């Protein structure tokens, strides 16, 4: 599928690890022509394990689809000059996740770049943010889940803190970066000026704590660990059935009453301890115990049928294998591969006019597209020598999407 929202937008991505590469992949999936700049030894994620595909970590392939792969050493003056030319002559967007202060050291900070290209959109994906006493400290996803308090409310009561099993801070930061870049591009279209966008792991982690922070500011409640449940709704968690776990969610008293009827326990809905969510919060252990004991009487599939027929929100706790092979996942068509010998990966979780963009090109080897860069630079140099003053042209060196 072509004719995507960002067709014609050129993005230069100087990135490593997870947050910024994920942002670049989203932009590529939206149609942008993304040039990923790697150091000669490659992105750190190429070495992540344990799963590998064609010599690189499967995690690297998962967040680096649809890009050109250019190898440049920005510590080398010639390579740095090439990067500056690529940005100045072709880029609409430049973003990076360099260590704090490094961008200015190489003249890749917004103030330096927009001297020659005022309309450039620049974005930095940082760790602790660009101000404050920790602004120059390095950071990774687990550190931010700890620092922002996410781990303090994740896991079972009385047990050690638990990190979310996926990199919610890394991927969230990449998403916020994309939102900021898209907003800046819209503004540029109207006002013909660039913008500086910044996102950070800590700010993202704080944003994910928005409800917990509101609760604390309201009454000083710092939350707690509720396993698969949440602090402010009961029932809203995973329960054991006879053969697996089932999440049951009743976000209001009406749904709770319907659950009681479906479980053939209508008296719970009129019990003064359980009739309202406030009451259920105060008597969490009791009502969870009653619901759990009832659900344990039958297999998961039985309760899915019973609760589903009653219009009650529920879902099995699935393994990755179950998710990938479920008919709903297959119907969405969100997992695909560009060719028969490529790794099947998750695509863009968006549709345009009822259609999902097709699979992106697979992640490539370090520097695999350097020849395209050489061709682009040579063509630009040739045009400067031969075209009349004021002439302008666009070279399309293409990339398979």
Say if residues 227 and 206 touch (Cβ distance below 8 Å).
no
Say if residues 23 and 182 touch (Cβ distance below 8 Å).
no
The C-alpha atoms of residue 120 and residue 93 are separated, in whole angstroms, by: 6
The C-alpha atoms of residue 158 and residue 229 are separated, in whole angstroms, by: 15
For residue 249, the SS3 value is strand
DSSP state of 155: S
Q: Is 291 exposed, middle or buried (0-12, 13-18, 19+ CB in 10 A)?
A: buried
Say if residues 233 and 251 touch (Cβ distance below 8 Å).
yes
Number of residues assigned to the chain? 401
Q: Is 377 exposed, middle or buried (0-12, 13-18, 19+ CB in 10 A)?
A: middle
Candidates 333, 366, 380, 22; CA nearest to 169 is 22
CA 155 to chain centre: 22
Catalytic residue among 109, 141, 170, 369: 170
What are the residue ranges of helices labelled H in 118-240?
141-147, 168-191, 201-208, 210-219
Candidates 199, 208, 201; CA nearest to 149 is 208
Is 221 one of the annotated active-site residues of the chain?
Answer: no
Say if residues 28 and 67 touch (Cβ distance below 8 Å).
yes
**Sign of CA pseudo-dihedral 259, 263, 269, 273:** negative
**Sign of CA pseudo-dihedral 204, 208, 214, 217:** negative
β-pairing verdict for 121-126 and 195-200: parallel
Query: Over the Cα atoms of the chain, what is R_g?
Result: 25
Q: Which residues are catalytic?
A: 170
């Amino acid at each position: 599928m072509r004719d995507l929202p960002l067709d014609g937008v050129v993005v230069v991505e100087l990135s490593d690890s997870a947050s910024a590469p994920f942002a670049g992949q989203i932009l590529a999936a939206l149609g942008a022509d993304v040039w990923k700049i790697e150091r000669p030894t490659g992105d750190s994620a190429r070495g992540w394990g344990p799963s590998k595909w064609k010599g690189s970590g499967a995690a690297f392939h998962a967040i680096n689809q649809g890009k050109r792969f250019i190898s440049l050493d920005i510590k080398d003056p010639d390579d740095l000059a090439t990067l500056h030319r690529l940005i100045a002559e072709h880029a609409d967007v430049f973003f990076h996740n360099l260590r704090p202060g490094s961008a200015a050291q190489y003249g890749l900070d917004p103030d330096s770049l927009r001297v020659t290209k005022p309309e450039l959109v620049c974005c930095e994906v940082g760790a602790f943010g660009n101000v404050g006493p920790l602004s120059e400290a390095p950071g990774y996803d687990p550190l931010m889940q700890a620092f922002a308090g996410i781990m303090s409310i994740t896991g079972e009561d009385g047990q050690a803190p638990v990190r979310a099993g996926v990199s919610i801070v890394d991927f969230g930061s990449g998403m916020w970066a994309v939102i900021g870049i898209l907003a800046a591009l819209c503004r540029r279209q109207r006002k013909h000026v660039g913008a500086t966008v910044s996102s950070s792991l800590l700010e993202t982690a704080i944003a994910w704590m928005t409800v917990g922070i509101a609760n604390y500011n309201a009454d000083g409640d710092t939350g707690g660990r509720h396993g698969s449940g949440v602090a402010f709704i009961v029932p809203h968690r995973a329960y054991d059935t006879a053969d697996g776990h089932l999440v049951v969610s009743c976000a209001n008293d009406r749904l709770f009453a319907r659950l009681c009827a479906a479980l053939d326990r209508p008296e719970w809905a009129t019990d003064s301890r359980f009739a309202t969510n406030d009451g259920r919060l105060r008597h969490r252990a009791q009502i969870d115990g009653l619901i759990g004991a009832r659900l344990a009487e039958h297999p998961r599939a039985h309760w899915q049928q019973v609760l589903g027929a009653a219009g009650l929100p529920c879902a099995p706790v699935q393994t990755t294998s179950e998710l990938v092979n479920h008919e709903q996942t297959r119907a969405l068509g969100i997992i695909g591969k560009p060719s028969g010998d490529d790794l099947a990966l998750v695509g863009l979780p968006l549709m345009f006019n009822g259609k999902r963009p097709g699979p992106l090109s697979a992640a490539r080897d370090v520097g695999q597209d350097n020849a395209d860069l050489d061709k682009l630079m040579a063509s630009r140099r040739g045009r400067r020598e031969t075209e009349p003053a004021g002439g302008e042209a666009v070279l399309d060196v293409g990339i398979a999407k």
